[in-house]
């Protein structure tokens, strides 16, 4: 699929600041994501990577700065604007966050039921297709507690894709998974970029996965974006923190 | 003349003393905002009919055996205790009326309120708390679904609707078992028991006390959902939310009952 010629960046962040009490977590973060690219956000634990994702989807409110998501200004707009933007975004949480009172099929059907007018048969077909695309179409009636962590992530990804989003956000998609499952999730992210031209932002500690999926890397340290560029440029970077980070993460 | 400086330790002590009050005021403010948000969610479209029915089943139908048992036990105890007291004053014939009035006007509603706050309050606090700490509520918001509407409003409305129905059930079983206990001590027909019991009972004796339990339902729903939604701190936090849901909703039900009884006596 050729990349759409859309001048509006899927995500644009300017001067983003966020503090919890006296602790400044993000301090003046600015970036724009290009359409159809996978961007990985790296950094040590507690550097605000997950907070950044929650700000981007409107689960946290910034202290200062602006966020434009899918063309909507979500930092100063209304809840309706925020929800309009959210419908264009899929979010995969670190522990998948499946609704534990619903079956796997109901989990994936939930956003479709809420935001589309598909008939029951069309919705069931769509759920089946989505679960098939992540290799989970044989466990439709299982409850989330009956499947493994890797399977939950796959179902979470199917649910994130339910509304055919233009943007995907991943919070530690490979954390806690065995190397084979982690590689499969990484492959799915790359396939989504290549086949559907989905823009992805991935928060991860996993340098190995980041190397295989990222078109662009942003390294956070002490609330600031210490590096923003490609993997090749990261390897050439002389910053002592980045040198240590690459060495320890390898 | 320079003003003497207040020692830093004294300021810190004052701050420490004021902290609990600050926390309470913050809690009350947050509860008010939460209630306003839920009230708006209740009256705005789309209405969550399917989820409301599911909650009505979970909160109402599944509480029915407990409410019926509590009512029945209360009826038996009332019958046994009151019979003994009334016999001392030679007013044994008033036993059916005492049981009916006591159950319908106060004992049935308050017992049902406290029983349901225990069962349902703990359930809601733990369920929403668990959903909060496992990011399920965040996931719902991220997919543009308002959890205050889908999770909270449905539970609150289900509590409001279920409470009067459960109270009627508790009253029914209380009166029935009151008659059983009474007739075991001294045989009396059910027809005569009911005729004596409901003699002089007016609509105003029945309706306001039963409908006041909707306020109890509102308290259980709002307080439990509020405690569940603000859960922090993993599984320990879920436990705290479940406990505080029961304690606070029971406490507020008792306080509300005092005020509502005054209002009912004033206006009915």
pLDDT of residue A181: 82
Of B138, B144, B146, nearest to A97 by CB-CB distance is B138
Q: Could you tell me if residue B32 is inside a domain?
A: no
Q: Look up the domain containing B236 and give its range.
A: 47-267
Residue B48, helix vs strand vs coil:
coil
In angstroms, rounded to a whole number, what is the distance separating the alpha carbons of residues B104 and A6? 69
Q: Could you tell me if residue B51 is inside a domain?
A: yes
Q: Kindly determine whether residue B144 and residue A115, on different chains, have CB atoms separated by under 8 Å.
A: yes
Residue A166 token pair:
């233009």
Residue A42, helix vs strand vs coil:
strand
pLDDT of residue B110: 96
What are the tens digits of pLDDT across the range A123-134?
Answer: 999 999 999 988
Q: Any chain A CB within 8 A of the CB of B144? A: yes
Query: CB count, 10 Å around CB of A197?
Result: 15
Q: Could you tell me if residue B215 is inside a domain?
A: yes
Q: What percent of chain A has pLDDT over 70?
A: 96
Report the residue of chain B nearest A165, measured CA to CA: B143
pLDDT of residue A206: 83
Q: Could you tell me if residue B33 is inside a domain?
A: no
What are the tens digits of pLDDT across the range B32-47?
Answer: 999 999 999 999 888 8
* A115 vs B contacts (CB less than 8 Å): 143-144
Average pLDDT, chain A: 89
pTM, 2 dp = 0.88
In angstroms, rounded to a whole number, what is the distance separating the alpha carbons of residues A218 and A216? 7
Report the residue of chain B nearest A53, measured CA to CA: B142
What are the tens digits of pLDDT across the range A56-109?
Answer: 999 999 999 999 998 889 988 788 889 999 999 999 999 999 999 999 999 999
What are the tens digits of pLDDT across the range B135-176?
Answer: 999 999 999 999 999 999 999 999 999 999 999 999 999 999
Q: Kindly determine whether residue A98 and residue B136, on different chains, have CB atoms separated by under 8 Å.
A: yes
In angstroms, rounded to a whole number, what is the distance separating the alpha carbons of residues A167 and A161? 9
Of A58, A84, A93, nearest to B139 by CB-CB distance is A93
Q: Could you tell me if residue B123 is inside a domain?
A: yes
Of B134, B144, B146, nearest to A97 by CB-CB distance is B134
ipTM of the complex: 0.90
Report the residue of chain B nearest A92, measured CA to CA: B139
Where are the alpha helices (H) located in B134-153, listed in sequence order? 136-142, 147
Q: Name the more confident of B223 and A231.
A: B223
* A163 vs B contacts (CB less than 8 Å): 143
Q: Could you tell me if residue B62 is inside a domain?
A: yes
pLDDT of residue A1: 45
Q: Kindly determine whether residue A97 and residue B141, on different chains, have CB atoms separated by under 8 Å.
A: no
For chain B, the domain total comes to 1
Q: Any chain A CB within 8 A of the CB of B136? A: yes
Across B195-214, average pLDDT? 91
| Whether residue A215 has pLDDT greater than 60 | yes
Q: Could you tell me if residue B151 is inside a domain?
A: yes
Q: Which residues pair with A69 in a beta bridge?
A: A11, A72
Q: Could you tell me if residue B117 is inside a domain?
A: yes
Domains of chain A with bracketed CATH: 34-58+78-249 (3.40.50.300)
* B145 vs A contacts (CB less than 8 Å): 110-111, 114
């Amino acid at each position: 699929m050729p990349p759409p010629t859309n001048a509006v960046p899927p995500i644009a962040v300017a001067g983003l600041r966020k503090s919890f009490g006296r602790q400044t977590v993000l301090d003046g973060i600015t970036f724009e994501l290009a359409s159809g690219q996978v961007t990985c956000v790296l950094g040590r634990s507690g550097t605000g990577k997950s907070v950044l994702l929650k700000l981007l989807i409107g689960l946290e409110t910034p202290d200062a700065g602006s966020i434009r998501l899918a063309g909507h200004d979500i930092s100063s707009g209304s809840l309706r604007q925020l929800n309009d933007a959210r419908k264009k975004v899929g979010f995969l949480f670190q522990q998948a966050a499946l609704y534990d009172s619903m079956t796997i099929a109901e989990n994936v059907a939930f956003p479709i039921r809420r935001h589309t007018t598909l008939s029951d048969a069309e919705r069931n077909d769509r759920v089946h297709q989505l679960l098939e695309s992540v290799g989970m179409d044989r466990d439709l009636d299982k409850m989330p507690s009956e499947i493994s962590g890797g399977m939950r992530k796959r179902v979470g990804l199917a649910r994130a894709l339910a509304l055919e989003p233009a943007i995907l956000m991943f919070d530690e998609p490979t954390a806690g998974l065995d190397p084979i499952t982690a590689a499969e999730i990484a492959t799915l992210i790359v396939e989504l970029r290549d086949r559907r031209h989905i823009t992805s932002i991935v928060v991860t500690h996993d340098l190995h996965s980041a190397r295989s999926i990222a078109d662009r890397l942003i390294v956070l340290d002490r609330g600031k974006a210490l590096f923003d560029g490609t993997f090749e440029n990261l390897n050439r970077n002389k910053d002592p923190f980045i040198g240590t980070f690459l060495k320890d993460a390898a | 003349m320079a003003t003497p400086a207040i020692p830093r330790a004294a300021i810190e002590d004052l701050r420490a003393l004021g902290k609990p009050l600050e926390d309470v005021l913050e809690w009350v403010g947050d509860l008010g905002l939460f209630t306003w948000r839920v009230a708006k969610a209740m009256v705005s479209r789309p209405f969550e009919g399917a989820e409301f029915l599911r909650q009505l089943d979970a909160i109402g139908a599944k509480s029915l055996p407990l409410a019926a048992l509590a009512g029945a036990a209360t009826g038996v105890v009332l019958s046994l205790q009151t019979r003994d007291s009334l016999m001392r004053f030679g007013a044994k014939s008033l036993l059916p009326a005492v049981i009916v009035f006591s159950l319908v006007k106060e004992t049935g509603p308050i017992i049902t309120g406290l029983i349901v706050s225990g069962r349902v309050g703990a359930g809601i606090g733990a369920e929403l708390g668990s959903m909060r700490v496992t990011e399920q509520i965040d996931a719902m918001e991220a997919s543009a679904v308002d959890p205050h509407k889908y999770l909270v409003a449905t539970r609150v409305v289900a509590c409001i609707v279920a409470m009067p129905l459960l109270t009627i059930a508790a009253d029914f079983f209380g009166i029935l078992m009151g008659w059983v206990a009474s007739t075991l001590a001294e045989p009396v027909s059910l027809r005569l028991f009911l005729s004596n019991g409901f003699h002089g009972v007016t609509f105003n004796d029945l309706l306001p006390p039963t409908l006041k339990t909707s306020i109890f339902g509102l308290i259980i729903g709002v307080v439990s959902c509020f405690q569940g939604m603000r859960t922090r701190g993993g599984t320990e936090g879920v436990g705290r939310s479940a406990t505080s849901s029961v304690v606070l909703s029971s406490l507020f039900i008792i306080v509300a009952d005092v005020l509502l009884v005054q209002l009912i006596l004033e206006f009915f």
